[in-house]
Amino acid sequence: MMPRRFSTLRSRLADYRWLSDRPAMLIWAVVVGILAAFATLLFHQGIYLLQSAFSGRSGSIVETMRSLPWYGRLLVPMVGGLIAGLLLWWAGKSPSGNASDYMEAVAIGDGRLSVKQGLLRSLSSLFSVASGGSIGREGAMVHLGALSASVLASFAFFTPARLRLLVACGAAGGVASAYGAPIAGALFVAEIVLGTMAIQSVGPLLIAAASAHLTLRALGDYHVIYALPDLPAASVAGMAPLLLLGVAAGIAAPQFLRVLNIGRAAFARTGLSLPPRLALGGLLLGAMLLVSPEVAGNGFSIVSSLLHENWAWQAVALILAGKVMATTLTVGSGAVGGVFTPTLVVGAAFGSLFGQLTLWLWPGLAVSPYLFTLVGMGAFLSAATGAPLMALLMIFEMTHSYQVVAPLMMACVVAYFVARAIAEIAMYDVTLARERDLATRQGLRHLRVADLIRPAETVVNAHTPVKDALQLFVEFPVRYLYVVDDDGVYLGQIAQQDLTSMLLAQSELQERVAGDIARRDFVEPLHPDLSLDDAQAYFVQFRGERIPVVSDEEHPKLLGVVYKSSLLEKYSAIKCSLDASSEALIEIRKTGR
């Protein structure tokens, strides 16, 4: 009965098309934001429930791991990885016509998400996170927010474009709920997922993120993630080392992502299926937790400690190396979750080390060591995600510290450009695919006919006897010959049909030359400065394969010819670029990144 009632309700609502119009999208965005907030709270409660089940306590994952005996630290991540792998295997065995990843659904799909696959993947992430996996919680939270929007949208009629935007709003609400950062949550989806900052898209994203944020506030679940005492503003001289930190982060962040890819490749070479592969990753992580339980979980406690306590540089270096290794084991084995939060932790430790070195070399520098930690987080995140504006606002909203804004602006932008200059790698493959697509489009936009010119082989002099011109038609399967004078000035074309008519009429050809029968009305020549779009308009009106190109002079010289195939080849590059974007998103779905 329920499916029939649901279908009837949907049919009735489909008649009210105003429900999916642009003004109504703002109302839907509010609803979706609220749902995303509740999905985040539900995921948090799931983590606490699982922690209580295997340890008898809940709260900080690091403290939970410390409370376990040695065999518990070893076995809990392994068992959690095994269960997570089984859930992923089950999700893979449940094919659906809808997308299983929200990035794919928004960027190349119709916005519809598979409910079964989405829930199974989120449960898999829940077990990975609760059992100490070094991975972010935000991945599942964002997906649950997007999934809530997709389910809600099934109650009314939405065009694919509006449905994709609604699912994107759910994702923005998930990011805002996970980090307490509504502006950064909206910009995360706009910069990385949608790839646009147009207000028609960003407006609903902001409404959804703000709604999620206000819902958590109303429920008393909001707090500043990294509350700090008032930081002294950096001096003008202090900006220089912070700028250098941005350069260093731009160099280091791509290497961190490469290490994660090496881990993925290493686990893939084992040939194990998902359940034993994630169990192996959990077992290796558990062995690390025997020595350093601090590397468990998403690293919130590490960042909090770095921002409030003075660490010896040796301890920072060890925790940095340990967190990179723990994240590589978790992500490499195939665990579903976010790399976003571990990147913040690695950036914080990297910034702290950089700051200690700077203050040792320059003892009188008026810069708080904690400022290096915060700027390191933002710069590392900017370089890894390719979204500097989002990274800047994320750190600001998580700390509510205005003093960090100016150095963050400089470091995040510098880190982004350095990372893109030295490596073509990013946290989300869709970012690189979109950048390659943009570069291809810009390159094609600036191409001119001059870039496509090829030598013209079927050219005759105006004084060439017609009988010799006729021989060229025998040698080359063409419809026109191009006629030039002694200076190479273009005079026109000889059409094969004209010579055929003269032969049929038994006209005297022995004494006639090419210049006598050249015409200018068959083909309008191209000019080298024409754009590809203008050249395409010529080919639309022309049935032949090639068009001559002449110089822009009073007496235009023949420069060569442009083939239709060359023009189509350039336009096919656009399609290849778009296909690359699609393939990158499909790869995200397969790898869980």
Which tens digits make up the pLDDT trace of 405-460? 889 999 999 999 999 888 877 777 666 666 666 666 666 666 777 778 888 888 88
Q: Which residues contact 105 (CB under 8 A, 6 or more apart)?
A: 98, 99, 111, 112, 113, 146, 150, 164, 167
* Virtual torsion, Cα 375, 380, 381, 383, nearest 10 deg: 120
Query: Can you give the residue range of the structural domain that contains 410?
Result: 239-427
Q: What does the pLDDT average to over 475-491?
A: 84
**Mean pLDDT, residues 583-590 taken together:** 44
d(CA 41, CA 165): 23
> Which of 166, 194, 223 is where one domain is finished?
223
* 114, 243: one domain: no
Mean pLDDT score, 4-33:
67
Question: Are 218 and 251 contained in the same domain?
Answer: no
Tokens of 34: 């609220």
More confident residue, 546 or 207: 207
Asked whether residue 82 falls in the same domain as residue 153, the answer is: yes
Phi, psi of 331 (to 5 degrees): -70, -40
Residue 438 lies in a domain: no
- What pLDDT does 408 receive? 93
| The two structure tokens encoding residue 588 | 């995200």
Same domain, 6 and 125: yes
Look at residue 444 and tell me if it is in a domain. Answer: no
Select, from the ranges 62-66, 226-230, 262-266, 430-434, the one with the highest average predicted confidence (pLDDT): 262-266
Across the strands, what pairs with 563? 546
- Nearest to residue 318, comparing CAs of 306, 335, 334, 300? 306
Q: Could you tell me if 386 and 509 lie in one domain?
A: no
Q: Are residues 275 and 381 in the same domain?
A: yes
Instruction: Note the pLDDT tens digit of each residue in 289-304.
Output: 999 888 988 888 899 8
Residue 575 in domain: no
Give pLDDT, residue 534: 76
Whether residue 33 is contained in a domain is answered as yes
Q: Final residue of a domain: which of 165, 191, 223?
A: 223
- Where is pLDDT greater, at 427 or 26? 26
Q: Which of 170, 199, 223 is the last residue of a domain?
A: 223
Predicted structure pTM score: 0.75
Q: Which two tokens stand for residue 502?
A: 């003269």
CATH code of the domain covering residue 510: 3.10.580.10
In a domain, 539, yes or no: yes
Ramachandran class of 337: left when φ > 0, alpha when ψ lies in -120 to 50, beta otherwise: left
Report helix angle 239-269 to 369-385, nearest 10.
Answer: 50
250 and 389 belong to one structural domain:
yes
Residue 585 resides in a domain: no
Q: Quick one: pLDDT at residue 591?
A: 43
Q: pLDDT tens for residues 120-177?
A: 999 999 999 988 888 888 888 888 998 988 888 777 667 777 888 888 999 999 999 9
Q: Is residue 591 part of a domain?
A: no
Q: Are residues 299 and 168 in the same domain?
A: no
Residue 493 backbone zone (phi > 0: left; psi -120 to 50: alpha; other: beta): beta
Is pLDDT at 317 greater than 90 in this prediction? yes
Per the CB < 8 A criterion, the answer to whether 293 and 462 are in contact is: no
Percentage of the chain exceeding pLDDT 90: 31
Considering the domain architecture, whether residues 498 and 405 belong to the same structural domain is answered as: no
The total number of structural domains that make up the chain: 3
Which residues, other chains included, contact 524 with Cβ-Cβ below 8 Å and sequence gap of 6+?
Answer: 538, 547
Is residue 56 located within the same domain as residue 93? yes
The CATH number of the domain where 325 resides is what? 1.10.3080.10
Check whether residue 219 and residue 112 sit in a common domain.
yes
Lowest mean pLDDT among 108-122, 202-216, 223-237: 223-237
Residues 461 and 336 in one domain: no
Classify residue 230: in a domain, yes or no. no
Q: From the CA atom positions of the chain, what is the Rg in Å? A: 32
Would you put residue 560 in left (φ > 0), alpha (ψ -120 to 50) or beta?
left
Give me the residue label for tokens 């912070």: 242
Considering only residues 271 and 1, tell me which one the structure prediction assigns the higher pLDDT: 271
pLDDT mean over 585-590: 44
